[in-house]
Amino acid sequence: MEGQNQVGRDHWKGRSSSWTATAAQGLSTDDTLNQMLIELTGIAPGERVLDLGSGTGDPAISIGLALGDSGAITACDLTPEMLAKARERSVNVGLDVISFAASEMTALTFENNTFDCVTCRFGLMFPEDKIAAAREALRVLKPGGRVGYVVWGPYGENPPFFVIRRAIAEAMGQEEGPVPHRHSLGQPRQLSEILDSAGFVSVEERDMRYKRPVDDLDDYINRALIRGYSETVDQFDDASRDALMDTLRAAFEPYREDGRVYMPNYARLGFGWKAV
């Protein structure tokens, strides 16, 4: 099955077409975690911010809008193909304070003491040497600057991922397989230990939980299938795909409240400062 622990450059380049096809055209379709990150890291107009693992533009575009007409946001990602979509989205929302850079998290192409804040939403799980990646963030921060890393919480507490994955495994007559790598930093203290080891001070962790309202369940499911399971679903004929959709709709019913599906999301924020 797709969704295994393939996390290198070739993996993300291969997935870029499906991610760009399902990305928002402008503003994020679900801005909740982006706004939580902005608030918890205290991003304010006039600051210079680096966003790592920006992909197709989240949370970099939301951060840029929060900066207003002052400051600057640099969207940085391993994959230029993803950043091309982020650039397109930034044009669509009229964002002028954004720039783009393709770079490895463990070997950033920026000078020391450059940024007031570094953010990373759902990226730190993937570098092999996570402490080295955090040290690079520390290096490019100004003294007194801060970092905010968001990672997914435990797999079993994130139904948006396991509901679809389990239903597809059952439909294919396969084992569900190991927990995907995206959840490898979901336990308490894992982020803190990385940031402590990298040299950050005043390190803390916070839970980020919310329920995402789903207005169009079929669209929600189809986007998830395109992003994570396109090669698997392409093996289905029309009848089998229709049957899979029926199975998936039923799998989401336990999350329906007052006629609307609400998907619980659980992420964790690791926060730290560069010593003055």
Three-class DSSP labels, the chain: CCCCCCCCHHHHHHHHHHHHHHCCCCCCCCCHHHHHHHHHHCCCCCCEEEEECCCCCCCHHHHHHHHCCCCEEEEEECCHHHHHHHHHHHHHCCCCCEEEEECECCECCCCCCCEEEEEEECCCCCCCCHHHHHHHHHHHEEEEEEEEEEEECCHHHCHHHHHHHHHHHHHHCCCCCCCCHHHCCCCCCHHHHHHHHHCCEEEEEEEEEEEEEECCHHHHHHHHHHHHHHHHHCCCCHHHHHHHHHHHHHHCHHHEECCEEEEEEEEEEEEEECCC
pLDDT for 230 equals: 85
pLDDT for 16 equals: 64
225-235 residue pLDDT tens: 988 888 888 88
Which of these, 123, 130, 267, 128, lies nearest to 186 by C-alpha position?
267
| 67 and 49 Cβ atoms separated by less than 8 Å | yes
pLDDT for 1 equals: 34
pLDDT for 33 equals: 96
Confidence of residue 28 (pLDDT cuts 50, 70, 90): very high
Report which listed range, 15-19, 76-80, 115-119, 173-177, is most confident.
115-119
The answer to whether domain 9-154+180-214+264-273 has CATH 3.40.50.150 is: yes
**237-252 core/surface letters (b: 16 or more CB in 10 A; e: else):** eeeeeeebbeebeebb
Domain spans, the chain: 9-154+180-214+264-273
Q: How far apart are CA 51 and CA 37, in angstroms?
A: 11
140-149 residue pLDDT tens: 999 999 999 9
- What percent of the chain is modeled with pLDDT above 90? 82
Confidence of residue 15 (pLDDT cuts 50, 70, 90): low
- pTM score, whole prediction: 0.91
| 122 and 152 Cβ atoms separated by less than 8 Å | yes
User: Average of pLDDT values for 252-274?
Assistant: 97
85-127 residue pLDDT tens: 999 999 999 999 999 999 999 999 999 999 999 999 999 999 9
Of 46-60, 63-77, 170-184, 201-215, where does mean pLDDT reach its minimum?
A: 170-184
| pLDDT over 90 (residue 2) | no
pLDDT for 233 equals: 85
pLDDT for 3 equals: 34
| pLDDT over 80 (residue 132) | yes
pLDDT for 4 equals: 34
Name the average pLDDT for the chain. Answer: 92
Which of these, 121, 122, 161, lies nearest to 263 by C-alpha position?
161
| pLDDT over 90 (residue 7) | no
| pLDDT over 70 (residue 187) | yes
Q: How far apart are CA 32 and CA 104, in angstroms?
A: 27
Confidence of residue 151 (pLDDT cuts 50, 70, 90): very high
C-alpha distances out from residue 221 to 31, 84, 102, 183, Å: 18, 25, 30, 20
Residue 197 amino acid letter: S
